Amino acid sequence: MNKVVKDPAQALNGIQDGMTLMVGGFGLCGIPENSIAQLVKMGVKNLTCISNNAGVDDFGLGLLLQGKQVKKMISSYVGENDEFERQMLSGELEVDLIPQGSLAERCRAGGAGIPAFFTPAGYGTEVAEGKEVRIFNGKPHILESALTADFAIVKAWKGDTEGNLIYKATARNFNPMMAMAGKITIAEVEELVPAGTLDPNQIHTPGIFVQRIFQGQKFEKRIEQRTVRSKQ
Amino acid sequence: MALDKTGIAKRIAQELQDGWYVNLGIGIPTLVANYIPEGIEVEFQSENGVLGMGPFPFEGEEDPDLINAGKQTITTRAGASFFDSAMSFAMIRGQHVQLTVLGAMEVSQNGDIANWKIPGKMVKGMGGAMDLVASAENIIVAMMHSNKAGESKILKACTLPLTGVGCVKKVVTELAVMEIKEGKFHLLERAPGVSVEEIIAKTEGDLIVPDFVPEMQL
């Protein structure tokens, strides 16, 4: 099953105003840079973006915020972004903040056909407002629902023509769960290889979850907090 | 003398036990990794998907694909592993991580913690803090005893929006080590040269003070 498309334009074909998108990455690590650039080019608006973070002002999902393309962000942490702050405080941008583990599990559940689950995270806080509480093993838990998306856009290190994916280091983060939870999942990879090249033992995301795959032309891979020690 | 941030980190490091998996939050907690007591082995988990974090990389050896939850470039130690965010929080929620160390804006005597939101200010989000505090068996909070206005952050009840309820077991500040049990703070140790009176004066919550309060050994 060949899932290869030739470029980001073909990969993102069908994304329309008002859709819900999942976008992989943690901070700027493991984000689908080429696809985000294409979303800017397409100019689609009123998007709901499910992504752990919202990028920085001039990179990552911050680029979509600059163009006022996002109606609502569903994230766990959204610091490091002035334009985000401005739009949030002015009420232009809706923001739904979710504990990081619950966000990850809600995506996983969405892809795994589990409509909801109980978690202790957020019990007794404003996150629990309006949610069912149930006691398990003497401990209160809140009911969290699954998340799915019209399109999930993920980034992997290597991928093959069947859509099988391998991620590198901590660039894996939210990508595998989001790949599972998209009605259509688009994978952009650093290296696209023919089926049979990757060792089936090493696949992180099986190709069944991926509908379209392409090799990104360029990856800037910007570092948010470059931290080093001196060699002395 | 009250401790500096390094001192707080050194004292918390004494709580580490051989074989533990530990999650360190951003700020003072991150410094704990620099003071692992000799002869014990611990492994650090970062919730963005790595076990077995090593020191920061040498200049020129940074890998943009390898960061910690504070988005800093890191390295890994021999035996490290990578995983996705759902598995990472399975480790946390499933109590496979033995100790969580994190910062706080306020802690209350029943173990509530507030560390993610100040009403009226820009809200950045809770990140993984709510998942961590709701599930960790063992939570140590690293914080300053008072805020910049001199008001105690060790309270009867938190005033800020909560991150978690009834979860904090131990608090280490620049002045004291305190345990939380049965709805009260219990003074265990004082910083070198800091008087019990000063700690009492700077603690708004109920504080049980034993007859003898030893100084921290750093």
Distance (Å) of CA A7 to CA A36, A45, A215, B51: 13, 21, 8, 35
The whole-number average pLDDT for the span B118-126 is: 88
Chain A residues with CB under 8 Å of B68 CB are: 170
Chain A: closest CA distance from residue B23 (Å): 14
Q: How far apart are CA B168 and CA B153, in angstroms?
A: 14
Q: Is residue B199 helix, strand or coil?
A: helix
Kindly report which listed range (A34-38, B39-43, B94-98, B116-120) carries the lowest average pLDDT score. B116-120
For the whole prediction, is pTM greater than 0.90?
Answer: yes
Q: Categorise residue B39: left if φ over 0, alpha if ψ from -120 to 50, beta otherwise.
A: left
Chain A residues with CB under 8 Å of B88 CB are: 101, 104
| Interface membership of A27 toward B (CB under 8 Å) | yes
Tens of pLDDT, residues B4-60: 999 999 999 999 999 999 999 988 999 999 999 999 999 999 999 999 999 999 999
β-pair type (A139-145, A116-119): antiparallel
| Interface membership of A121 toward B (CB under 8 Å) | yes
Q: What is the mean pLDDT of chain B?
A: 96
Scanning chain A, the segments in alpha helix (DSSP H) are 8-11, 33-42, 62-66, 82-89, 100-112, 175-181
| Interface membership of B187 toward A (CB under 8 Å) | no
ipTM: 0.97
Catalytic positions of B:
47
Q: Return the structure tokens found at A90.
A: 């002015």
A:74-113 residues touching chain B, CB 8 A cutoff: 75-79, 85, 88-89, 95, 97, 99-105, 107-108
